[in-house]
């Protein structure tokens, strides 16, 4: 049973990241879960830089841009040993699962953690948006008469 979760933002800043963090924290707290924010994405997970979040810590975040947790590109996360250290840091803190907010690279990092047995939530909208972009691209190509 999941009792503690981590939430991180990864890759470049994007509008709505703070609102997403706030939503995750509030929903988790409502369900009785403890929530830890991971500073600077996967880099912070690797370096064990986390802080416990509560309603107060996210109360004024919805109107701010970017991500108050910070975000960093961390290509070294592709290395399985680096991911193993990150998972060990999560276990040390008693985290049962991770919520990842970001784009394609963030998704791939989350997927790799899942393959290593860690429960990771990747927001469903990511695949839907990617599939939608793919469909729009093919619709455009079809209308212009271009064939792949």
pLDDT, tens digit (0-9, with 9 covering 90-100), for 86-136: 999 999 999 999 999 988 888 899 899 999 988 876 665 544 555 544 444
Q: Is residue 67 part of a domain?
A: yes
The answer to whether residue 136 sits within a structural domain is no
Nearest CA-CA partner of 68 in 13, 23, 121? 13
Cβ 70 vs Cβ 76: under 8 Å? no
Q: Domain for residue 106, yes or no?
A: yes
Domain of residue 108 covers 4-123
Is 142 domain-assigned? Answer: no
The answer to whether residue 90 sits within a structural domain is: yes
Angle between helical axes of 80-93 and 104-115 (0-180°, round to 10):
80
The answer as to whether 75 is a domain residue is yes
Q: Does the residue 54 lie in any domain?
A: yes
Q: What is the pLDDT of residues 66-82, one digit of tens each?
A: 899 999 889 999 999 99
pLDDT above 90 as % of the chain: 59
Domain count along the chain: 1
The domain that holds 21 is classified in CATH as 3.40.50.450
Mean of per-residue pLDDT scores for the chain: 84
State pTM to two decimals: 0.80
Q: What's the rounded Cα separation, in Å, for the pair 16 and 115?
A: 28
Residue 21 placed within a domain = yes
Report the first-to-last Cα separation within the chain, whole angstroms.
47
């Amino acid at each position: 049973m999941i009792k503690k979760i981590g939430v991180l933002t990864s890759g470049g800043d994007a509008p709505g990241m703070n609102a997403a963090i706030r939503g995750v924290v509030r929903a988790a707290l409502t369900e009785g879960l403890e929530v830890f924010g991971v500073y600077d994405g996967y880099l912070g997970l690797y370096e064990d830089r986390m802080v416990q979040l509560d309603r107060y810590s996210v109360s004024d975040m919805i109107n701010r841009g970017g991500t108050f947790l910070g975000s960093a590109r961390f290509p070294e996360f592709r290395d399985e040993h680096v991911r193993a250290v990150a998972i060990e840091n999560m276990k040390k803190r008693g985290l049962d699962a991770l919520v990842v907010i970001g784009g394609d690279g963030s998704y791939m990092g989350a997927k790799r953690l899942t393959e290593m047995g860690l429960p990771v939530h990747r927001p469903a909208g990511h695949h839907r948006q990617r599939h939608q972009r793919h469909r729009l691209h093919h619709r455009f190509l079809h209308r212009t008469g271009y064939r792949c």
